[in-house]
Amino acid sequence: MKNPFTGRVKHVVILLCFLLVLLLISYFFISRSIEKKHANTMVMGGKYYDMVHIENTEEIKEESLVRAGGSEEEKEPDLEAYFRPSSLPVLNTRFDWNFIDDYYDKKPSDIILPSDLFKTPEDTILNYFSILREAANIEKGKSAGCGTLGNAEIPYPIAYNFLDDEYRDRLSYKQYRKTFENILHINLIKYHSVPVYDKKENLQRYFVELETIEGNEKNQGSFAYYYGFVDLKEEKGEYKISNLEFHGENYLCAPYHGWAYDAEMSVKVRYGEWCELIEKMYPVKQEGYIKNISFKGNDGLDYLLVYYQLTNDTDIEIAQFRKAGGGEWEQIRINPEDCVKDENDAVK
């Protein structure tokens, strides 16, 4: 005679296994969906990244500054500077409507641009953003004015031809145009060449900062700022864009969250207190928005850290260099967060 209790247990086990498999499958698809959504986040033709924030509580902030040889009273940041937009001149002003009108109603594949637009990396960047300056891709339900804005969507097929073949293979024109949704005006306010860390052949990289006007549900124009990097490759005497990436600038994190956004304090804490690398700080040298911070290391070598200052007064680390004695500056890559990680691992 069969035991009815054993049969019930068997059914319960089968049901639990089925639910577990269902849960694992659901988790897999949800994870893939989240990853795909994050990977596809783009703006203005490039990958979009949230600005990296270092969360420092008051306790961490005070302790780190003291260990770095400073104090909160020693340097009071100008918090108001973090809130204010740019007063810099607009740089992308090379074209007027007559140039754009020559390509009116043409498909991207039918557009052939003159080679002198791509003579140098600087020409490519200035011409690209000049074409896009008054482009506007209005998102449904959001606006910043009445009637047609600027050159509307006419510039996008022209600008798409500034991308090299490989980039256009990865990003279709339809996808490219969609990344400009709710971008109604673009001002290029900074650009400068930067070192390429991955040493890719025939690649040049430029830092850019953009001031944009975006729409909202109140029919008001709001200023939004982005910094990013433009990669360019030279082919047959022309410099085409091989990659774009942009980082959104935040106007409330920096003034409310301490030292992490100020280059001098950041260097003292991250390279001094965390990595115990600093023996002596040298005077800071700043020209325009480029800030050079150098120090003598405990290893007897000199270090140079290059920062670019954004419109919201946040300092972004661009490059690191090191040299011995009267030698040449050598490009290096140190991740101060690894110093903290190694210390935590040692404690464990």
Q: Classify strands 46-49 and 238-248 as parallel, antiparallel or unpaired.
A: parallel
Other residues' Cβ atoms within 10 Å of the Cβ of residue 190:
21
pTM above 0.85, yes or no: no
Contact 207, 192 (CB under 8 A): yes
pLDDT at 6: 55
Domain boundaries in the chain? Answer: 70-81+259-347, 97-248
* 306 close to 319: Cβ distance less than 8 angstroms: yes
Give the model's pLDDT for residue 23.
60
pLDDT value of position 341: 76
pLDDT of residue 346: 52
User: Which pLDDT belongs to residue 81?
Assistant: 66
The tokens of 152 are what? 């509307």
pLDDT, tens digit (0-9, with 9 covering 90-100), for 252-263: 877 777 678 899
- Who contacts 134 (Cβ-Cβ below 8 Å, separation ≥6)? 149, 150, 151, 155, 185
Choose among 114, 116, 103: nearest CA to 156: 103
Helix (H), strand (E), coil (C) string for the chain: CCCHHHHHHHHHHHHHHHHHHHHHHHHHHHHHHHHHHHHCCEECCEEEECCCCCCCCHHHHHHHHHHCCCCCCCCCCCHHHHHCCCCCCCCCCCCCHHHHHCCCCCCHHHCCCCHHHHCCHHHHHHHHHHHHCCECECCCCCECCCCCCCCECCHHHHHHCCECHHHHHHCCHHHHHHCCECEEEEEEEEEEEECCCCCCCCEEEEEEEEEEEECECCCCCEEEEEEEEEEEEEECCEEEEEEEEEEECCCCHHHHCHHHHCHHHHHHHHHHHHCCCEEEECCCEEECCEEEEEEEECCCCEEEEEEEECCCCCEEEEEEEEECCCCCCEEECCCHHHHHHHHHHHHC
Residues 127/163, Cβ–Cβ less than 8 Å:
no
Q: Give phi and psi for 144, each to the nearest 5.
A: -145, 20
Cβ atoms 168, 111 nearer than 8 A: no
pLDDT digits (tens, 9 = 90+) for 5-56: 455 556 655 666 666 666 656 554 544 443 344 345 888 888 887 655 454 4
What does the alpha-carbon distance between residue 236 and residue 59 come to, in Å, rounded to a whole number? Answer: 57
Q: What are phi and psi of 321, to 5 degrees?
A: -135, 155
pLDDT at 60: 40
- Residue 105 backbone class (left: φ over 0; alpha: ψ -120 to 50; beta: rest): left
Please give the CATH topology (third level) of the domain spanning 97-248. Answer: Nuclear Transport Factor 2; Chain: A, (3.10.450)
Burial 111-143 (b: 16+ CB within 10 A, else e): eeeeeebbeebeebbbbbbbbbbbbbbbeeebb
> How far apart are the C-alpha atoms of 243 and 71, rounded to whole Å?
42
**How many Cβ atoms sit within 10 Å of the Cβ of residue 312?**
22
Strand partners, 296: 280, 302
Give the pLDDT of residue 179: 96
Q: Which residues of the chain have pLDDT under 70?
A: 1-40, 50-84, 199, 258, 342-348
pLDDT recorded at residue 12: 56
Give CA–CA dist 302/234, Å, rounded: 34
Token pair, residue 33, equals 């969906």
Whole-number pLDDT of residue 50: 67
